[in-house]
Amino acid sequence: MTKESLLLTDLYQLTMLQAYFDHGITKNAVFEFFVRDLDKRKFLIATGLEQVITFLENLKFSADDIDWLKKTGLFKSDFLDYLRELKFEGSVYAMPEGTIFFSNEPILQISAPITQAQLVETRIINMLHYQTLVASKAIRMHFAAPGKQFIDFGLRRAHGAEAGLLAARASYIAGFAGTSTVLAGKSFGIPIFGTMAHSFVQAHDTEIAAFMNFAESMPNNVIILIDTYDTLRAINKLIKIAPILKKRGITIKGVRLDSGDLIILSKKVRKILDKNGLKNVRIITSGNLDEYALKKIYDAGAPVDSFGIGTIMVTSSDMPYLNCAYKLMEYNGIPKKKRSEGKETWPGQKQVYRYYKNGNISYDIIAMRDEIFDGEPLLKLFMKNGTKIESLPSINQIREYVMEQIKHIPDYLKDLKKTDKQYPVIISDKLKKCSDNLDKLIIQNEDI
C-alpha cells in the first residue's frame, strides 16, 4: 500500500485545496476521526492506524497523477506545482491500535497545515472505517462461543481485494487464530489455514480417492471436507481409511462440516469419531455463520472446535458501515464546530480519559486537550512534524492488547443484543462550555 495513488480521494478535496491555495488559507488545522453512534455495537475496536501512518509517511503525488489532473482543466498550474511538492508535515495523536472505544471519542487527531490535513480525509476514513468495522464485528464471536477457535474465511465475498486482505488483519487483531487468505500470511505474518473445497472431492471418482489423495499430499494438514454428498456416509469412509493412513504415519487432524444442521451433525460425527478411536480429530464448521448462529451451536453443547467465519464478518453484514466522520475541530488555534442538523460536532482538540472500577472499565471522559484528568489518557502521539516518533507495535502485540482489554470489560458490553444500557461517555464541563460559546459566536457571525 506504499505506492498507492493520491487520486484515490474525493474530487472536493482537490477543489478545496485549490481554493485554500489561492486565498492563502494555509494555517494549521486539527481534524479528528470519530464514530457518531455505535448502533448495534456495544463498543468498537480502533484498528487501521498502522496503514494510516504508512499512508501519511508516503504521501506524494506521482508525476503521472499531476499530468492527469492538468488534463482535467480544473486546476491552475501554480497549484499543480504546489501539489507536486506536497508531503505530510503534521502530527498525529491516536488511540493505539486495538483500543476499545465508544461514540464521539476521537481515535485519531491530525494536526497539520489545512491543505495537508484536508487532503487525507477520504483515504483516512476509508482505512480506519473498514478495519474498525471488521474488528468490532469479529470480537463478538468470542462472546457467542467463548474459548473456541475462529478463522477468517472471508476473502471471496469481501468487498474487493483490499477488504479481503485487511479483514484478515482486523479479525486476527480481534483474536481470530488466523485466516485462509495466503497474502495476509505473507503481508502481516498471520497464521494461514486451509484444506479442500467440494470441487476437490467432485473431481475424483469416489470420495475415498479424494480423501486418500489429499492426505498423501498434505500429510501434516489432513482436514477432510465431509459434506459434499452425504456427511454421515463420508465420516464412515474416513473411519475406514484412518487405520490405512496411520500405518503410513499420517494422522487425520480434522473434519469440516459446511452445510446442514451443524448441531445435530457435529454431535453425530463426534460420537462416531470417538467410538472409533479418533478422539483427537477436531470438528471444524463453516457456512455463513454469524455470532447468533455460533451462540446457538455453543449453547446446544455442539462439539465444534473451530469455526470458519467468512462473509458475515468481512462485510459486517448486520451493520455494514459505521456512522463515522473526520471533522475540522480547530483552525489557526480557534475551535470550530459544525452545526448541521443531527450532525453537530464537539469542537476543539480533545483527549479521552478512561476510568476503572473493580478492575473493569467504568466510564470515559471526553475533555479538551488542555484539561488534565486523573484517568488514563487514550490518545498518544505517533507522528510529529511528519515523522513517526517510535516504532509501532507488532500485530501480535496489538492482538494481546485487545485480549487483555476484553478481560476488563463489564458483562453488559458482551451482550450480543442491542440494549439500552450504554457505556458512560461524559463530556467535560469545559468542552460543553466551549461548544455553547461557539454556538453563540456562530449566531453573532451570522448576523454580520
Nearer to a second copy, 411 or 446 (CB): 446
The one among 2, 72, 77, 419 contacting a second copy by CB under 8 A: 72
Nearer to a second copy, 163 or 281 (CB): 163
- The distance of closest approach from Cβ of residue 67 to a second copy in the complex, given in angstroms and rounded to an integer, is 10
- Choose among 279, 223, 231, 232: nearest CA to 252: 223
Single-letter code of the amino acid located at 173: I
The one among 54, 58, 122, 362 contacting a second copy by CB under 8 A: 122
Q: Which parts of 229-248 interact with a second copy (CB under 8 A)?
A: 229-230, 233
Query: Which class for 235: exposed (0-12), middle (13-18), buried (19 or more C-beta within 10 A)?
Result: buried
| Residue 57 interacts with a second copy (CB under 8 A): yes or no | no
How many CB atoms lie under 10 A from the CB of residue 236? 13
Residue 400 and residue 232: Cα distance in Å, rounded? 39
The one among 66, 183, 272, 403 contacting a second copy by CB under 8 A: 183
| Residue 149 interacts with a second copy (CB under 8 A): yes or no | no
Q: Which parts of 396-435 interact with a second copy (CB under 8 A)?
A: none
| Residue 163 interacts with a second copy (CB under 8 A): yes or no | yes
Residue 3 and residue 54: Cα distance in Å, rounded? 10
Nearer to a second copy, 341 or 374 (CB): 341
Nearer to a second copy, 98 or 347 (CB): 347
- The distance of closest approach from Cβ of residue 101 to a second copy in the complex, given in angstroms and rounded to an integer, is 18
- Choose among 10, 42, 27, 168: nearest CA to 422: 42
In the DSSP assignment, the letter for residue 274 is H
Which residue shows C-alpha cell 473493580?
A: 358
Q: Which parts of 280-339 interact with a second copy (CB under 8 A)?
A: 311, 314-317, 320-322, 324, 327-328, 331, 336-339
Under 8 Å between Cβ of 335 and 440: no
Provide the CB-side half-sphere exposure for 133 (13 A, CA).
23
- The distance of closest approach from Cβ of residue 356 to a second copy in the complex, given in angstroms and rounded to an integer, is 33
Nearer to a second copy, 202 or 437 (CB): 202
The one among 206, 360, 387, 394 contacting a second copy by CB under 8 A: 206
DSSP, collapsed to helix, strand or coil, labels residue 248 as: coil
Question: Cell digits for 4?
Answer: 498507492
